[in-house]
Amino acid sequence: MSLLTRLLVLVGIAVLPALAIQIYNEYELRHARTTEVRDLTQRYAHFIAAEQDSLVDGTRQLLSALTQLPELQHANAGGCGVVLANLNAQYPNYDRLAAFDVTGRLICSSTRARASDALELSLPHIRTAIADDRFEISDYQVRPDTNARVVDPTLLVPTRV
């Protein structure tokens, strides 16, 4: 074996463990970073889900309280519209507050009547709210005028005429 070959083998024996240690350290560092990012993502997801649950619960409570108002229960369109408009001004997160009776007739709204009011009654979450007499929320939707992502909460209002 030549001197050059012996020298290369000696350098290889000295360098290979250092290279192996460097590869192992890089692997461990990558694994630690991946774990850290995954944990951070899960914490954010839990935080966002908790915030979303809180908003849904608040909406459910607001709608449940609204069903108890005499203006809605007695289908008083004039008084009902004023109450909903005032509430909508206090809660700007809601696009619109509106009450429909079980036949699909618009009782009152926080905004002017829309051409799409009749179409809204065919939406799955509204049909479920009417059929099952319970609180329902739509899937995320994109508003065509603002491109904002919104959900539409629905609760049946028992009216007494």
- Taking only the tens place, the pLDDT of each residue in 86-133 is 888 887 777 777 777 767 677 777 877 766 666 666 677 777 777 777
Contact, 120 vs 126, CB < 8 A?
yes
Higher pLDDT, residue 143 or 77: 143
Evaluate whether residue 4 is within a structural domain. no
Strands 106-109 and 149-150: unpaired
Q: pLDDT at position 161, please? A: 43
- Can you give the pTM of this predicted structure? 0.60
**Tokens describing residue 19:** 């290279």
Does residue 97 form part of some domain? yes
What's 10-59 look like in SS3? HHHHHHHHHHHHHHHHHHHHHHHHHHHHHHHHHHHHHHHHHHHHHHHHHH
Structure confidence at residue 79 (pLDDT): 77
Considering all CA atoms of the chain, what is the largest pairwise distance in Å, rounded to the nearest integer?
108
Query: Which residues, listed in sequence order, are joined to residue 109 by a DSSP beta bridge?
Result: 98
Looking at the domain assignment, is residue 146 inside a domain? yes
Side chain identity at residue 13, one-letter code: I
Looking up residue 123, the CATH number of its domain turns out to be: 3.30.450
Give the pLDDT of residue 39: 96
SS3 70: helix
pLDDT of the residue at 4 = 84
Between CA 63 and CA 75 the distance in angstroms is: 16
- Residue 107, classed as helix, strand or coil, is strand
The answer to whether residue 10 is domain-embedded is no
End-to-end CA distance of the chain: 107
| Number of structural domains the chain divides into | 1
Considering the domain boundaries, does residue 56 fall inside one?
no
Domain assignment present for 6: no
Owning domain of residue 144: 67-154
Q: What is the pLDDT of residues 13-71, one digit of tens each?
A: 888 888 999 999 999 999 999 999 999 999 999 999 898 888 888 888 887 788 787 77
- The residue whose two tokens read 């809204």 is 120
Question: C-alpha 49: how far from its chain's center?
Answer: 8
The answer to the question of residue 148 being in a domain is yes
Q: What is the pLDDT of residue 78?
A: 66
